[in-house]
Amino acid sequence: MNLRKMIARVLRALPNLPPNAIGENDIVDLLNEGLENVANFSTKTQTRVYAMTANTDSVPFPEDMLKLVNVYWSEDKIELEASLEKIPKEYLLEDSEDYQGTPIYYYVEDGRIVVRPIPLLTDSIYIVYTMKPTVMVEDTDTPDIEGCEEYLIAHALYRLHLEANSPSFQLWGMEKTQALAMFLEAHEGNYQTPFRVIQTW
């Protein structure tokens, strides 16, 4: 279902609002908000591999990252045995700032993933994350996450009825919850794959 059809579905079920109280751009924003929610709930991930050179301690977030899922370090470039442990920076001892070896920890700072110890050799770091969905703008645009349209429509209508103090917000809240459950049931089996498989939407 494309964006134009989803907008039409929402318009048909809008609460009684004053003229010009809600425009199509508002509906588009809510549909895209719902799409980001779906991406956060989805089990489908993307894996980005960076070569981290010796004596370098960080890499930037992937530009299309919505949510960080896990970080792996590989010394042999093939088998990734365990993920790095996420740790708050303040838990690291002061002398660890200069300690070198095989990374076992990471923390997040200023849009970067920082590893400790600092690697002695050039090796690969694997960033597993949920991708940002493509924002729908044109009438012919469709969600790049398959099968989520009913949730997007219910999400938009829930928000619109809630903001209009319409009692129907409860109905649309239930519709939203049911649509999300159906989406997750359909997709969990498809996308629960090992992290080392690089996937794209």
- Please check whether residue 173 is in contact with residue 158, taking contact to mean a CB–CB distance below 8 angstroms: yes
Asked if residue 158 and residue 138 are part of one domain, the reply reads: yes
Give the per-residue pLDDT at 48: 93
Asked if residue 175 and residue 115 are part of one domain, the reply reads: no
Domain with 111, as residue range(s), is: 46-131
Place of tokens 């990471």: 106
Asked if residue 156 and residue 145 are part of one domain, the reply reads: yes
pTM of the predicted model as reported, rounded to 2 decimal places: 0.75
Rounded Cα distance, 34 and 83, in Å: 30
pLDDT tens profile 105-123:
999 999 999 999 999 888 8
Task: Check whether 45 has a pLDDT greater than 60.
Answer: yes
Number of domain units in the chain: 2
Give the per-residue pLDDT at 44: 81
Give the per-residue pLDDT at 77: 47
Asked if residue 79 and residue 38 are part of one domain, the reply reads: no
pLDDT tens profile 163-197:
888 888 999 999 999 999 998 888 765 554 444 44
Give the per-residue pLDDT at 141: 97
Rounded Cα distance, 69 and 126, in Å: 11
Task: With respect to residue 186, please indicate whether it lies within any of the assigned structural domains.
Answer: yes
Asked if residue 138 and residue 165 are part of one domain, the reply reads: yes
Give the per-residue pLDDT at 109: 92
Asked if residue 140 and residue 168 are part of one domain, the reply reads: yes
Distances in whole angstroms, Cα of residue 181 to Cα of each of 14, 16, 43, 60: 23, 29, 13, 34
More confident residue, 79 or 188: 188
What percentage of residues in the chain have a pLDDT greater than 70? 84
Averaged pLDDT for residues 28-51: 91
Phi–psi pair at 114, nearest 5 degrees:
-110, 130
Averaged pLDDT for residues 69-95: 74
Among 86, 111, 131, the domain-final residue is 131
